[in-house]
Amino acid sequence: MDTESYVLPVREVIRETADAVSVVFDLTEEAQGHFDYTPGQFLTLAVPSDQTGLVARCYSLSSSPVLDQPLTVTIKRTVDGYASNWICDNLQAGDTLRVLPPSGIFTPADLDADLLLFAGGSGVTPVISIARTALAKGTGKIVVFYANRDQDSVIFAEEWSRLSAENPDRLIVVHWLESVQGLPSQAQLQAFASEFSTYTSFCCGPAPS
Ligand SMILES: Cc1cc2nc3c(=O)[nH]c(=O)nc-3n(C[C@H](O)[C@H](O)[C@H](O)COP(=O)(O)OP(=O)(O)OC[C@H]3O[C@@H](n4cnc5c(N)ncnc54)[C@H](O)[C@@H]3O)c2cc1C
């Protein structure tokens, strides 16, 4: 594993929803070759802090390594959280951040497998990277169950619609909105998952608030 950090320029900060942004990085010459990744992996960002100098936080890559997409992480505000709010409020194109290279094992062993992907809120970040990559390079079917508080909280809403329209025989995206259906119960999730018991499953979401 690569343990040396690199200072990366921020190419763009994209507002995804009222409380989530995507941060797009450029790779410096020094960083080239150190940021290859598999879908589902994360970067560790060093966020400046007046109190401690820096705080380190992990953010999953939302971009796909097999598409022509720059290195991108997506960050959703955590209530009263330091780094996520600092990034959403302060980070701009042209800034730099110190970043540790990709890490993590939340990644499909076989892109041709049928995949059942559960995401809650910001948990969509690695899930969209896995889905984008499997659609581009794999052959299996992909079912995404994406739970959010309400419609306005859905990150990548347009992209999910586009991917579903472009891959009608391979991708199904089910949006579950707490504002409409309440929190999904264990029984509801079990009933949903039982239809796809042969699929390889991944589940990602924040701790309940
Ligand atoms: C592998 C991995 C991947 C991740 N990927 C993503 C991603 O793609 N997108 C994303 O948005 N997040 C992701 N996260 C979560 C992210 O790393 C941060 O944990 C998140 O952004 C919160 O950090 P923060 O600094 O904003 O909050 P913090 O300041 O760490 O606070 C977190 C919570 O703890 C509470 N808290 C803080 N200090 C105290 C204290 N002293 N006592 C009691 N409570 C306290 C805060 O009120 C807040 O509710 C990922 C985490 C991991 C481990």
For the chain, give every domain's residue range.
6-103, 115-204
CB environment 77-112: b (16+ within 10 A), e (fewer): bbeeeebbbbbbeebeeeeebebbbbebebbbeebe
Q: What is the pLDDT of residue 55?
A: 96
Q: Which atom of ligand 1 is nearest to the CA of 76?
A: 11
Q: Do domains 6-103 and 115-204 have the same CATH topology?
A: no
For ligand 1, whether the C-beta of 57 sits within 6 Å is yes
Domain 6-103: which CATH class? mainly beta
User: Distance between CA 105 and CA 113 in Å, rounded?
Assistant: 17
124-137 and 157-166 helices, crossing angle to 10°: 20
pLDDT for res 208: 74
Task: Tally Cβ neighbours within 10 Å of residue 53.
Answer: 8
> Please, are residues 148 and 121 in contact by the beta-carbon 8 Å criterion?
yes
In the sheet that 115-120 helps form, which strands lie side by side, from edge to edge?
A: 171-177, 142-148, 115-120, 200-204
CATH class label, 115-204? alpha beta
Mean pLDDT by 10 residues, the chain (209 residues): 90 98 98 97 96 95 97 97 97 98 97 98 98 98 98 98 98 98 96 97 88
CA 163 to centroid of ligand 1, rounded, Å? 29
**96 close to 27: Cβ distance less than 8 angstroms:** no
* Residue partners of 195: CB distance under 8 A and separation at least 6: none
* Sheet of 42-49, strand order: 53-60, 42-49, 96-103, 6-17, 20-25, 72-76
Ligand 1 centre and the CA of 87: distance in Å?
12
Model pTM score? 0.95
Q: What is the pLDDT of residue 1?
A: 64
- Closest residue by Cα to atom 1, ligand 1, is 58
pLDDT number for residue 128: 98
Q: Measure 140 CA to ligand 1 centroid, in angstroms.
A: 33
Q: What's the pLDDT at 155?
A: 98
